[in-house]
Amino acid sequence: MEQNLSLEELTTIAQMSPHHFSRLFKQSTGLSPHQYVIRCRVERAKQLLLKGEMTIAEVAATVGFYDQSHFAHYFRRLMGVTPKALLK
């Protein structure tokens, strides 16, 4: 997750069309590539938040969210609580 690879870059590496890559990825993981990346970022964010060494804004930026409200939206959707509520 440290690298932000685009779907185009992934399909070039895999030597597949974007449609074929996305279809196979979803068959394999049950998630689209975008959904998978979001899930991984949120899981990593949860780990970082629980360590207590960074602010919510720092964690959001570290895991690849450029907007804290966007981060909070996905975090709540996947974790069932807001990042702030997790810290309480």
Instruction: Dump pLDDT digits (tens) for 19-52.
Output: 999 999 999 999 999 999 999 999 999 999 999 9
State how far the Cα of 54 lies from the Cα of 45, in Å rounded to an integer: 10
Q: Is the pTM of this model over 0.75?
A: yes
The structural domains of the chain, with segments of one domain joined by +, span 7-87
Domain boundaries 7-87, corresponding CATH code: 1.10.10.60
Burial class (CB in 10 A: 0-12, 13-18, 19+), 76: middle
Q: What does the block give as tokens for 83?
A: 């990042």
